């Protein structure tokens, strides 16, 4: 069988092949591509500054919200009963929320924390998709 | 870590100077078009692939952390976008079996010298269009885009052995296609 030398034995041939392929295949791209890309980028929805901030610092905001909720529970205290009386002398975290009408019925502080955190997770996920 | 020649431009874009992306488009449009054309033969469809790739790269830029060169990352986007376009057209890349004896192939310098540059350019373009995409894309990445083996692995997701095999087979196919179009080169060389 005839020996066919490989390109490793012929670096000149390899260089020539490279330059020939580049010359043949690398043609200036039509200007229409740059214009079309520019137009498509301009049409992309631009998030508002506050949304960009939330997307950028979302993790920090989320952890802060969680920590604040935990601290409030620790400082103000968990209610002893799931249905505290309005007349109950000790103000609790959830009774405060109930008083300022943030929650319709008194609920456990832990539940409030979970709901707040889930709500934040849902919102940040939805917003980051935009 | 390897110096990325696009790092400065990318930093400008990250700092809010989004117009700097035009430099990236200017820099890579021709190369991306060459790569896309290996998959999508129709010129307009190849241009659409390139446009899509640039838009996708722009929107995905926050996820680019400089682990690889920007060009490698971008070529991977072009490659995937072109693959998706091919799949949408239900045209799977063809696999052509070739004679194993012809795997080791060299490039005869005389063969190129005998042809006028313009004629050769046309022949090469025709020959590259005739080669199945799986081989043509590796040839393009290696010779036209000047990518190293490891970069081609990162771009295509093919194992290193496959890249080397396809490069060799691609060379063999290119040679075969060129000789089909210009048989006198072969007869002159072997005589």
Confidence of residue B179 (pLDDT cuts 50, 70, 90): confident
Is there a contact between B4 and B70 (Cβ–Cβ < 8 Å)? yes
CB-CB neighbors (< 8 A) of A47 in chain B:
none
Average pLDDT, stretch B28-57? 92
Give the ipTM: 0.78
**Inter-chain contact A25–B34, Cβ cutoff 8 Å?**
yes
Residue A130 has pLDDT above 60, yes or no: no
Distant-in-sequence, close-in-space partners of B187: CB < 8 Å, separation ≥ 6: none
Distant-in-sequence, close-in-space partners of A37: CB < 8 Å, separation ≥ 6: B25, B51, B54, B55
The shortest C-alpha distance from B171 to chain A (Å) reads 9
Residue B100 has pLDDT above 90, yes or no: no
And the tokens for A56?
A: 């950028």
Convert A81-92 to b/e letters by CB count within 10 Å (16 or more is b): eeebeeeeeeeb
**Nearest in space to B27 (alpha carbons), one of B67, B60, B54:** B54
How high is the pLDDT of residue B180?
A: 85
Domain B101-190 = CATH 3.40.1030.10: no
How high is the pLDDT of residue B158?
A: 92
B102: contact with A, CB 8 A cutoff: yes
Candidates A4, A37, A38; nearest CB to B105:
A4
**Nearest in space to A119 (alpha carbons), one of A105, A103, A106:** A103
How high is the pLDDT of residue B161?
A: 92
Is there a contact between B8 and B55 (Cβ–Cβ < 8 Å)? no
Pairs of residues, one from chain A and one from chain B, whose beta carbons lie less than 8 Å apart: 104
How high is the pLDDT of residue B162?
A: 92
The shortest C-alpha distance from B120 to chain A (Å) reads 8
CB-CB neighbors (< 8 A) of B55 in chain A:
37, 40-41, 44
B144: contact with A, CB 8 A cutoff: yes
Average pLDDT, stretch B79-92? 81
Residue B147 has pLDDT above 80, yes or no: yes
Confidence of residue A5 (pLDDT cuts 50, 70, 90): very low
**Nearest in space to B51 (alpha carbons), one of A128, A25, A43, A47:** A43
How high is the pLDDT of residue B62?
A: 86
- CA within 13 Å, CB half, B146: 9
B55: contact with A, CB 8 A cutoff: yes
Q: How far is Cα B91 from Cα B89, in angstroms, rounded to an integer? A: 5
Q: How many helices (H) and strands (E) would you count in chain A? A: 5, 0
Q: How far is Cα B127 from Cα B170, in angstroms, rounded to an integer? A: 11
Average pLDDT, stretch B88-93? 62
Distant-in-sequence, close-in-space partners of A80: CB < 8 Å, separation ≥ 6: none
**Inter-chain contact A5–B58, Cβ cutoff 8 Å?**
no
**Nearest in space to B54 (alpha carbons), one of B89, B22, B96, B91:** B22
**Which class does domain B7-88 fall in?**
mainly alpha
**Inter-chain contact B106–A7, Cβ cutoff 8 Å?**
yes
The shortest C-alpha distance from B114 to chain A (Å) reads 13
Is there a contact between B82 and B156 (Cβ–Cβ < 8 Å)? no
B59: contact with A, CB 8 A cutoff: yes
Look-up: residue for tokens 């008194």? A106
| pTM for the full predicted model | 0.66
Look-up: residue for tokens 């117009």? B19
B29: contact with A, CB 8 A cutoff: yes
């Amino acid at each position: 069988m005839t020996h066919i030398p490989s390109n490793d034995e012929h670096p000149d041939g390899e260089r020539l092949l490279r330059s020939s392929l580049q010359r043949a295949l690398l043609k200036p791209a039509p200007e229409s591509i740059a214009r079309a890309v520019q137009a498509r980028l301009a049409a992309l929805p631009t998030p508002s500054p506050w949304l960009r901030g939330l997307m950028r610092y979302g993790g920090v905001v989320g952890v802060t919200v969680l920590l604040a909720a935990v601290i409030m529970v620790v400082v103000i205290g968990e209610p002893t009963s799931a249905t505290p009386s309005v007349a109950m002398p000790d103000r609790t975290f959830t009774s405060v929320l109930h008083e300022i009408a943030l929650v319709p019925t008194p609920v456990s502080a832990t539940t409030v924390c979970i709901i707040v955190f889930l709500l934040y997770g849902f919102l940040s996920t939805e917003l980051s998709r935009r | 870590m390897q110096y990325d020649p696009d790092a400065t431009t990318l930093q400008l874009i990250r700092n809010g100077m989004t117009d700097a992306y035009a430099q990236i488009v200017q820099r890579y449009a021709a190369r991306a078009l060459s790569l896309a054309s290996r998959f999508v033969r129709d010129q307009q469809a190849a241009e659409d692939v390139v446009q899509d790739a640039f838009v996708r790269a722009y929107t995905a830029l926050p996820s680019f952390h400089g682990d690889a060169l920007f060009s490698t990352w971008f070529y991977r986007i072009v490659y995937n976008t072109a693959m998706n376009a091919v799949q949408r057209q239900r045209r799977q890349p063809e696999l052509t079996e070739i004679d194993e004896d012809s795997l080791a192939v060299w490039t005869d310098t005389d063969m190129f010298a005998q042809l006028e540059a313009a004629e050769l350019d046309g022949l090469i373009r025709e020959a590259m269009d005739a080669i199945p995409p799986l081989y043509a894309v590796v040839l393009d990445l290696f010779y036209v885009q000047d990518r190293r083996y490891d970069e081609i692995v990162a771009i295509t997701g093919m194992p290193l052995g496959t890249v080397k095999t396809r490069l060799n087979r691609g060379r063999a196919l290119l040679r075969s296609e060129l000789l089909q179009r210009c048989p006198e080169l072969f007869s002159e060389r072997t005589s």
